[in-house]
């Protein structure tokens, strides 16, 4: 069996291809092509689907602001 893990960047994998591929491997996706608007149908096909929300948290925005200044 196969497992495809995408925890790098959205758009690295062809989500549309995975969505329509009957022989797609088990999917573990943490980054999505059109974040924060993820593909719900693809998420439903995943073994594990998580939101890649590190940049959206209050703490992350604070840390980025501190880094800029």
Please name the residue that has the structure tokens 């758009």. Answer: 11
Say if residue 9's pLDDT is above 80. Answer: yes
- The DSSP element (H or E) to which 29 belongs, if any, is strand 26-29
Span 41-66, pLDDT tens digits: 999 999 999 877 666 778 878 888 89
Q: Do residues 45 and 19 lie in contact, with contact meaning Cβ atoms separated by under 8 Å?
A: yes
Residues annotated catalytic, as ranges: 9, 35, 52
Q: Residue 61 is encoded by which pair of tokens?
A: 């925005």
Q: Indicate the pTM of the whole model.
A: 0.70
């Amino acid at each position: 069996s196969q497992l495809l893990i995408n925890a790098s960047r959205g758009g690295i994998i062809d989500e549309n291809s995975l969505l329509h591929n009957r022989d797609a491997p088990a999917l573990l996706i943490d980054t999505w092509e059109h974040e924060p608007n993820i593909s719900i149908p693809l998420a439903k096909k995943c073994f594990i689907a998580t939101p890649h929300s590190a940049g959206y948290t209050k703490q992350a925005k604070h840390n980025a602001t501190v880094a800029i200044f």
